[in-house]
Amino acid sequence: MAFKHFFLCLLLCLGILQIGNSSKLTKGGSHDIKKILVIGATGQAGSRMVKEAVDRGLQVRTFSRNTSKLSEDVKDKVEAVAGDIQNYDDVQKAVKGVDAVIVAISPRSYEDTSKYMAKGVQNVVKAMKAENVEIINVLLSVFTIMPVEEIPPFFRNAIEDQHAMLEALQKSDLKYIASCPPNFITTSFDAYEAKIGGMPGGRNFNGGVNVISLNQLGKYFIDSLSEPRYYGKLVGVRNKVVHKQGVKA
């Protein structure tokens, strides 16, 4: 009996035997990602990331200014924290004890020149270093990987803010992912594709898929946390063109 107990313990230590359903957990490098923080959890994109994480069985802490705006289908399944990303103490408390962070915040307005989002990300980076959290995925946009002169003037203040967010990540030494999707759509899609350093399909959005569905954006964000090849990279992501027999995309 003692030998049997020792053998079972050895298998557990080696990771050969697993207890419970660990398939839903996200593996990130040398450790499992079991608990994540989603900042901007009540927004259009952030709420889908929260749902995807909850559906996979991850522990989720949400951070937003108004927790009452959380989706009804997840609000009883997450640890909801109210706070302001501009307040470092709020951010540090939210970051404490998680394995990875997702930031899905939006500009206050397209006329805003205060670098609101970048200042928030700087607080997140500082808090992650203080709490020894390494992995972060930040929502930017496809405009981040486009030449400035090609960006519509209306969006330029927001994109300058996103460039400042990216700069904060690049200086951080964290395992960051800077994600750059095109326009969101609410229609569900079957798959996504991602490319390091640019948009899949090239600048002309080969196949005409210049959008990403919110359900696939959520999947990508959770998947990517455990993809070391994305760490320290700018990543373009969009709906995947699926070629079926006899059908051209």
The string of pLDDT tens digits covering residues 144-196 is 888 778 888 888 889 999 999 999 999 999 999 999 999 999 999 999 999 99
Q: What pTM does this model have? A: 0.83
CA dihedral 103, 173, 122, 33 (to 10 degrees): 30
Integer angstrom CA distances of residue 178 from 55, 95, 164: 24, 19, 12
Q: How far apart are CA 166 and CA 118, in angstroms?
A: 8
Closest-CA residue to 46 (of 74, 86, 76, 83): 74
Q: How far apart are CA 18 and CA 112, in angstroms?
A: 50
Beta bridge partners of 101: 37, 136
Residues 6 or more apart whose Cβ sits within 8 Å of residue 105? 39, 40, 43, 46, 85, 117, 120, 139
CATH architecture designation of domain 25-239: 3-Layer(aba) Sandwich (3.40)
User: For residue 197, is it left (φ>0), alpha (ψ between -120 and 50) or beta?
Assistant: left
Q: How far apart are the first and last CA of the chain?
A: 62
| Residue 203 binned pLDDT confidence (cut-offs 50, 70, 90) | low
- Answer yes or no: is pLDDT of 210 > 90: no
| Residue 93 binned pLDDT confidence (cut-offs 50, 70, 90) | very high
The string of pLDDT tens digits covering residues 42-83 is 999 999 999 999 999 999 999 999 999 999 999 999 999 999
Beta bridge partners of 197: none
Position with higher pLDDT, 119 vs 245: 119
